[in-house]
Each structure stands twice: as structure tokens, then as C-alpha cells.
Amino acid sequence: MDPGGVIERHLPIHHVCGAVVQKVAEVSSPGVVRHTITSADRFALGELDGRRSERIVAVSDMLERAGLATPISSQIRPEKWFKLWANLVWNPISALTQATVLEMHDSPRAPTSWA
């Protein structure tokens, strides 16, 4: 995501790899963010051109050794767009209901196909 190429003019694109973080967190009080560790936590990585490079494998391996799930994606750009779409859908509902995504997921009113 680089509208107008501003970043690329200052940082060569071959120095950039994509990442999409899926992490459960909530603001539990003003200025306090609570992180919850779940099996859904992941830190997807990928080269912008979709190839499986040595550096992306090395970064993934390093983060895996640190305990993070870091799958390598050949489609990192669509993953970024999917996360943006999901944020656009779930964040307003969460703000209106004051429920976390986990609470919405675990609600008896949630569709059973989510489970």
C-alpha cells in the first residue's frame, strides 16, 4: 500500500517484504492494550512478487523460533486487502456493541458455521 509511490521513492522496493499481523488485542482501559494469545495469532510474511526468497524464509524461521506463527504467503497483497476488509466489517460492530471479536465469535447468536 503505497499511494503515489511515496515510500518507494525513499526506500527501494527490493528492500521491502510484506507482512500481515493477525493478533487479538483490546483496549481494556484508556492507554492500556491487552493482548490475548490465541491459536489464531499469525504473522504472515511474503515477498511482494510472490516468490519464496531466502530472506523471507530466514525471517520466517527466526520468528518461528521466537514462538510466532509465520506462514510464508505467495499472495501477501491479497492477504493485506482481506485484513483491511475484515477490519472494515468487524471494527464498527465491535465499537457499537462494545464486544471484542472473540466475544462476538463465542456469542450464542453467532452463526454456527463460524465454529
Least confident of 3-17, 61-75, 80-94: 3-17
Please state, in angstroms and rounded to a whole number, the distance separating the CA atoms of residues 58 and 80. 21
pTM: 0.72
Question: Which residues touch 18 (CB under 8 Å, ≥6 apart)?
Answer: 45, 46, 47, 48, 73, 76, 77, 79, 80
Q: Residue 91 pLDDT more than 60?
A: yes
pLDDT at 115: 47
80 labelled catalytic = no
Task: For the chain, give the mean pLDDT.
Answer: 86
Catalytic residue among 42, 77, 80, 83: 83
pLDDT-derived band at 113 (thresholds 50, 70, 90) equals: low
